[in-house]
């Protein structure tokens, strides 16, 4: 609503005289004619309506929360049933395969299983875990026994190189004991005179070699076992970087000579070359800090819901490698 000409003229004249023509009350009356009327609302009625809305909102919130809880329980129950069925199916299949494909500690049985495979990896790497962090008294003995079993499978299948990764490096601290366990397992499988020569090595330690037997079959070969741990990843890269920086500083090489191929060759000679197949015996893929540089083109395999080191998982990993297709970029 716009001001009338009379009220506008009266206000301006009062303003020119310093608000001496109109008093305070006169100015209030002048403005009151143009103010909107206040809403008429009973206080008790608005209070009861607010209380009623609050009450309805609390009931709806409670019902909504109960509905969400019911949906969560239903989804959780369905998923739990699915997981249990999946674990049972995988456990039964692995158990049946372990019975049908049991090697009976005989190399001929392993050779028979892998004879149908189109190709075999030349270098297999496995991830083993120290049970209960080594707090159990027989944890180290069990770990050495698992490593010996895998070594016997590789030797029987004709795989010349095996790398064993254990995060803490406990096997590297007990290399003589580990070598003794591996050698005894190979002798139990192949016989005392027919066991393949064994070499055990790790970064920063001398290689331990077993004596060659007097007679070996023509198709027999030596087995090379490499022990690696978490420290062979970052620390190996740091040590190599320091050496290359010192060589550049002494002007033995130039910075342009340091390429990805040079780093790869140096790390391969210092620790191990890149494996063809990496097998994890965990129920899911868990590399546990495995050095990242040697697995750029490695086929990684794990059996879902698997528990423990088993020959059936090893055999499935070999079959997975046979079926894999490797496409290298230019």
Instruction: Give the pLDDT confidence of 264-284 residue by residue, as tens digits.
Output: 777 777 778 889 999 999 888
Which secondary structure element, helix H or strand E, spans residue 239, and what is its range? helix 234-249
Over residues 190-210, the pLDDT tens digits come to 988 888 899 999 988 888 988
Let me know if 67 is exposed, middle or buried by CB neighbors in 10 A (0-12, 13-18, 19+): exposed
CA angle 308, 223, 295 (to 5 degrees): 60
Q: Is the pLDDT of residue 45 over 70?
A: no
Let me know if 118 is exposed, middle or buried by CB neighbors in 10 A (0-12, 13-18, 19+): exposed
Q: Which residues pair with 162 in a beta bridge?
A: 124, 225
Average pLDDT over residues 317-327: 85
Confidence of residue 14 (pLDDT cuts 50, 70, 90): confident
Give the pLDDT of residue 221: 75
Distance CA 296, CA 293 (A): 6
Average pLDDT over residues 139-155: 93
Output the CA–CA distances (angstroms, integers) from residue 299 to 122, 245, 279, in the order listed: 12, 33, 8
Over residues 207-251, the pLDDT tens digits come to 898 866 555 555 567 899 999 998 887 777 788 888 888 888 888
pTM: 0.70
Pairing assessment for the beta strands 198-202 and 208-209 based on DSSP bridges: antiparallel
Tally the residues of the chain. Answer: 330
**Which of 161-170, 262-271, 318-327 is predicted least confidently?**
262-271
Q: Residue ranges of the domains in the chain?
A: 1-33, 48-100, 105-212+219-323
163 vs 23 pLDDT, higher one: 163
Give the pLDDT of residue 46: 54
Q: Which fold has domain 105-212+219-323?
A: Undecaprenyl pyrophosphate synthetase (3.40.1180)
């Amino acid at each position: 609503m716009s001001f009338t000409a009379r009220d506008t003229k009266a206000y301006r004249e009062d303003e020119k005289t310093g608000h001496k023509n109109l008093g305070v009350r006169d100015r209030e009356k002048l403005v009151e004619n143009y103010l909107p009327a206040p809403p008429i609302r009973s206080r008790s009625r608005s209070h009861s309506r607010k209380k009623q809305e609050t009450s309805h909102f609390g009931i709806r919130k409670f019902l909504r929360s109960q509905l969400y809880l019911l949906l969560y329980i239903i989804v959780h129950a369905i998923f739990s049933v699915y997981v249990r069925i999946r674990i049972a199916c995988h456990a039964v299949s692995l158990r049946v395969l372990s019975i049908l494909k049991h090697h009976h500690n005989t190399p001929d049985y392993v050779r028979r299983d892998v004879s149908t495979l189109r190709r075999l990896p030349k270098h297999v790497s496995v991830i083993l875990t120290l049970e209960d962090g080594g707090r159990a008294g027989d944890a180290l003995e069990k770990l050495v026994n698992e490593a010996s079993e895998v070594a016997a499978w590789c030797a029987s299948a004709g795989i010349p190189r095996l790398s064993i990764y254990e995060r803490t490096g406990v096997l590297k601290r007990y290399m003589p004991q580990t070598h003794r366990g591996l050698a005894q397992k190979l002798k139990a499988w192949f016989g005392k005179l027919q066991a393949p020569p064994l070499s055990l090595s790790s970064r920063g330690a001398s290689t331990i070699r077993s004596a060659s037997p007097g007679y070996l079959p023509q198709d027999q070969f030596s087995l090379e076992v490499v022990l690696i741990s978490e420290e062979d990843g970052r620390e190996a890269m740091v040590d190599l970087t320091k050496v290359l920086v010192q060589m550049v500083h002494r002007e033995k090489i130039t910075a342009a000579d340091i390429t990805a191929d040079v780093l790869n060759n140096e790390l391969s000679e210092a620790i191990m070359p890149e494996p063809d197949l990496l097998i994890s015996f965990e129920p899911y893929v868990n590399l546990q800090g495995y050095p990242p540089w040697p697995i750029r083109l490695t086929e990684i395999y794990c059996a879902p819901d698997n528990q423990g080191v088993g020959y059936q998982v090893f055999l499935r990993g070999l079959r997975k490698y046979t079926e894999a297709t490797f496409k290298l970029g230019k």
